[in-house]
Amino acid sequence: MIEIYPQNFDGTWFAVALLDRKIVRSWFGSSEAPTLKNVLDNLPFDVPFEVFHEPTTHAKNILTALKSVFDGKETSQELPLSTTHLPAYTKKVLKTTMAIPIGYVTTYGTIAKAVGGGARAVGNAMATNPYAPIVPCHRVVKSDFKLGGYGGGLKVKVDFLKREKRGFSSATDVEVGGALLRVYPVEFALRDMA
């Protein structure tokens, strides 16, 4: 049985779908119905589900963590993602995306170089990311540092990146799965923005 928990924090709605205490889907948005619908329409398993408006302690922890990520805060908490049903390549891309630190962005092509495959394939994985915003697909931009796309709309992506500004000034490398991933200050992507 999949348990779905929607919750509002400071005017933004968050929702998670849990199966066996692990996250199979998450989403967020400015109103409840579309947020819930996104989750309901994209459940990975054809099993019964139920929506609960009173979160368990476990669910509440996860929802709180989602809100922290949304606010651009560091979260030390490891969130239990259920990824076993995803294609191997998609898992690799998502894992790599999770390695992008707050305050930095990287590009579709850079990720492609790190995990193999092509930039468009990476874009595909982002577009179908089941775990927004836990997997920070908003930190992936085009090679010219223009934004690229975003499932929740470009404005949401911009606002996200603004909250994550940390004042870094130069690129650096992070290690993920034995490969190095080059990441750039989020300011690069916000440079010519209002």
Partner DNA sequence: TGCAAACCATAAC
Partner DNA sequence: GTTATGGTTTGCA
In the set 27, 28, 131, 150, which binds DNA (CB under 7 A)? 150
Q: Is the dihedral of CA 30, 34, 37, 38 positive or negative?
A: negative
Pairing of strands 49-51, 22-29: unpaired
Binding marks (x or -) toward DNA, 29..48, rule CB under 7 A? --------------------
Find the part of the chain contacting DNA (CB under 7 A) among 50-58, 71-79, 149-157, 167-175.
149-157
Active-site residues, by number, are 137
In the set 137, 161, 181, 183, which binds DNA (CB under 7 A)? 137
Q: Does 148 bind DNA (CB under 7 A)?
A: yes
129 has which bridge partners?
A: none
Instruction: Supply the minimum distance, in Å, between the C-beta of residue 180 and DNA.
Output: 17
CB closer to DNA out of 40 and 51: 40
Pairing of strands 22-29, 104-107: unpaired
Binding to DNA (CB under 7 A) within 90-129 occurs at 90, 107-110, 112, 116-129
CB closer to DNA out of 103 and 123: 123
Q: Does 179 bind DNA (CB under 7 A)?
A: no
Helix (H) or strand (E) holding 72: none
CB 19 within 8 A of CB 43: no
Rounded Cα distance between 194 and 186, Å, is 15
Sheet holding 49-51, edge to edge: 22-29, 12-19, 2-9, 49-51
CB closer to DNA out of 96 and 107: 107
Which two tokens mark 189?
A: 């992507």
The footprint of DNA (CB under 7 A) covers 87-90, 107-110, 112, 116-129, 132, 137-138, 140, 142-144, 148-151, 157
